[in-house]
């Protein structure tokens, strides 16, 4: 590890024991681009590390920082951390620029254990139409997506990266879960719309169409089998093929 890396770690953690010291040290040692990123945003990262109140929040932050590390493995991608602070509500975690030709937003989140346990109650599904049950994690994913729609910015591509302990979903499962969410909005179900703060079905679809796609990833990214990608057919701003390739490739460590 270089002297710069050691200085960064000392600044970020003040020499204190912290569960992220080891992974941060490994990422800094293996990526000059990540070191530059951390140098630029060191004050923001230091504050996040110091104010993380519990283990779950630390794991959320670890996923966020690892996402930055993985994206920066692709030389065609560059990042700005929390680029736009809106007057009301949070903005996405990263503005990602592909070469100099296109910028898109990336929001990172993690499915916590409590979400997986309660999501079936939050998004109850009627099977009167013959729909078959999905894995419980699909309900948690749908709940997470609905909660995140308000953070996506208008007039640009927005990608949601979701971390789970282990992948238990296929692309078909994700598609089915999103279709069920759409049906609830199309039916103007008041409990559904009110829970996620949508005024009406039009408000839901205005925000839903900002979602370009979802990248579902396991906590340990190792190869192409550790990610599941889903593209929103209703997304207004799809990513060009070469940009999607760079995004997916960044999360395939053995590619």
The whole-angstrom separation of Cα 187 and Cα 125 is 13
Helical (H) or strand (E) element with 36: helix 32-40
The candidate with the shortest Cα–Cα distance to 135, out of 118, 155, 120, is 120
The whole-angstrom separation of Cα 222 and Cα 252 is 6
Looking at residues 60-84, what average pLDDT do you find? Answer: 95
Question: pLDDT confidence of 252, banded at 50, 70, 90?
Answer: confident
> In this predicted structure, which of 149-153, 224-228, 241-245 has the lowest mean pLDDT?
224-228
Q: Where are the alpha helices (DSSP H) in 110-188?
A: 113-122, 136-148, 171-186
Domain definitions of the chain by residue range: 82-250
Read off φ and ψ for residue 211, nearest 5 degrees.
-75, 115
> pLDDT tens across 210-239, in order?
999 999 998 777 655 678 999 999 999 999
């Amino acid at each position: 590890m270089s002297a710069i890396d050691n200085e960064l770690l000392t600044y970020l953690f003040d020499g204190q024991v912290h569960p992220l010291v080891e992974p941060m040290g490994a990422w800094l040692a293996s990526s000059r681009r990540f070191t530059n990123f951390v140098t630029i945003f060191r004050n923001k990262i230091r504050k996040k590390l110091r104010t993380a109140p519990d283990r779950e929040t630390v794991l959320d932050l670890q996923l966020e920082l690892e996402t930055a590390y993985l994206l920066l493995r692709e030389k065609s991608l560059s990042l700005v951390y929390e680029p736009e602070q809106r007057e009301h509500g949070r903005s996405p975690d990263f503005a990602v620029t592909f070469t100099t030709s296109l910028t898109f937003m990336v929001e990172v989140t993690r499915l916590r254990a409590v979400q997986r346990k309660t999501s079936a109650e939050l998004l109850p599904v009627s099977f009167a139409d013959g729909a078959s049950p999905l894995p419980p994690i699909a309900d948690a994913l749908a709940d997470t997506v609905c909660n995140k729609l308000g953070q996506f910015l208008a007039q640009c591509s927005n990608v949601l990266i979701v971390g789970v302990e282990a992948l238990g979903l296929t692309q078909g499962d994700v598609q089915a879960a999103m279709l069920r969410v759409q049906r609830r909005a199309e039916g103007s179900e008041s409990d559904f719309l009110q829970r996620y703060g949508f005024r009406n079905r039009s408000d839901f679809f205005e925000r839903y169409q900002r979602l370009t796609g979802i990248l579902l990833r396991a906590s340990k990214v190792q190869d192409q089998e550790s990610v599941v990608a889903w593209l929103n057919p209703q997304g207004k701003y799809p990513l060009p093929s070469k940009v999607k390739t760079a995004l997916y490739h960044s999360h395939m460590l053995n590619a």
